[in-house]
Chains A and B, each alone.
Chain A
């Protein structure tokens, strides 16, 4: 499967008479876009723009999505949602690079998901660097939480597809080509280099904790193979946002650094054979079944090693360890990517589960670290929710508008695909 990602670099977003890309500026016809997003479940939709370095806070964030459009090849972006379920991942896809759709919504009383466009909080989220088209929607009266979540999720995907369409005929500034051959060919490539697979764990526990693959709820799937390029076309969509620091937004999936890094070093350091997507369900029998299937599929690929990324903390630590142990016992070396809840001083045990075979682990940071977010001049989203931050505590919203909370409230702060700004350096 061969995909060309053609990036159209956008340096500014403005409202205008027509939705179009003109030079490096994306113009958005606000009313036309609102009309395109209309949904009988939503009483109102408003659109705003947040730019890097502004004194703006967006809260509570539900999802972040990168605008893309397929211009060649089968299917359309976000199959199973805004496009039919044709296979994606081949052909040509245009990307509005530098732009993100951000959805906000008050689905439940407790809230999380903060993006600060400047100040200390901005240093913890990659979405302080993007030009954010922020959607604020209110549900119709009496809409149940499940339906509200589905409406916001669909609205975000429709918005990203709508904006992506503006880039259909725009001139790309950079092209990346990803060529992922079928398994028999892949196995013959680069003899002498270690063969590596990627186990892509998806949160799938229930309301506000779900992920979708080609439109189907991942909890209802068995682990399966997926081409890396399918993910770039939006085959994986986020429906989860609780504990915002380590939930993969749809943007994270579209730009998964694990996949991109594996592809970048493919043929140099190792032979990247393929991806297995698996879920993180509530029952132990589901966990056993999924980890059994994951280990079987990875063994089937005939690889020497696998990278396993987790999504979330606590319950999925069990899935992470099951995947790790079952692969290691088959003689397949593993490297785990996770984050930590190691207490505010970082001294406590980081995960809720562990095993001696998990001896190669990359951390994306300690979500319990405390941060003070200073007041911002502008609040986008649902202003009243700043007082009910789930990762804060009573009195964490001060009279001046500053918030004291753990970094788990910041969207993407300790992202377990490594799409974050935290790092450690030897001194």
Chain B
């Protein structure tokens, strides 16, 4: 089975040794970390723009990439660069609101639910 790593800034996620927690309250640092990995040859396994909450609405994002560098995958590069461009544009137009802690917890929950849906599809343990 394919080995994976999760790149995320969502504190609700239970991280494994292979995963990478990005300490930031914004999707951009997560996407930039993913981009670095993609350019090093890791392949995207989930779309970097998950969910219908826009990158300037939900600051939490979890992306799954291959654990191993398999050689640069053009589709992964294109998707992550596109996601970064959309996120930058939307954030410059409308930055994050100062959400309450309760709302932030719900935003984390939605990100976690989308990640769980992806992990289930990838045949992974979803007790994240």
Contacts and interface: CB of A to CB of B under 8 A. Distances in A.
Interface of A: 108-110, 145-146, 203, 205-209, 219, 240, 242-243, 247, 281-287, 312-315, 318, 341, 343-344, 348-349, 352-353, 368, 388, 390-394
A352 B102 contact: no
Contacts, number: 127
A47 to B, nearest CB: 27
B22 to A, nearest CB: 19
A185 to B, nearest CB: 37
A387 B63 CA distance: 30
Interface of B: 44-47, 49-54, 57, 64, 75, 79, 82-83, 85-86, 89-90, 93-95, 97-100, 102-103, 105-107, 109-110, 113-118, 121-122
Contacts of B100: 109
Contacts of A281: 117-118, 121
27 contacts: A108-B106, A108-B110, A109-B102, A109-B103, A206-B110, A206-B116, A207-B113, A208-B113, A242-B53, A243-B52, A243-B54, A281-B121, A282-B118, A283-B64, A284-B75, A285-B45, A286-B121, A314-B49, A315-B51, A341-B90, A343-B93, A344-B94, A348-B89, A349-B86, A388-B103, A390-B53, A393-B95
Contact of A207 (B47, B97, B110, B121): B110
Given A242-B51, A247-B52, A315-B49, A207 B98 contact: no
A206 B117 contact: yes
A422 B15 CA distance: 45
A386 B15 CA distance: 35
Given A110-B103, A284-B44, A353-B82, A209 B57 contact: no
Contacts of A343: 89, 93
Given A110-B99, A243-B54, A344-B93, A285 B122 contact: yes
A283 B45 contact: yes
B12 to A, nearest CB: 12
A1 B82 CA distance: 44
A231 B91 CA distance: 38
A405 to B, nearest CB: 10
Given A206-B114, A349-B85, A393-B94, 10 more contacts: A109-B103, A242-B110, A281-B118, A284-B45, A284-B79, A313-B52, A314-B54, A318-B79, A353-B82, A390-B53
Contacts of A344: 93-94
Chain A at the B interface: SS class: loop
A134 B35 CA distance: 46
A209 B83 contact: no
A352 B116 CA distance: 23
A206 B113 contact: yes
B61 to A, nearest CB: 11
B121 A209 contact: no
A284 B80 CA distance: 12
Nearest to B121: A283
A287 B51 contact: no
Nearest to B79: A318
A148 to B, nearest CB: 11
A145 B82 contact: no
Contacts of B53: 110, 242-243, 390
Contacts of A388: 99, 103
Contacts of A285: 45, 121-122
A109 B121 contact: no
B57 A314 contact: no
Contacts of B49: 314-315, 352
Nearest to A280: B47
A352 B86 contact: yes
A309 to B, nearest CB: 16
A146 B117 CA distance: 13
Contacts of B122: 283, 285
A205 B93 contact: no
Contacts of A207: 109-110, 113-114
A209 B51 contact: yes
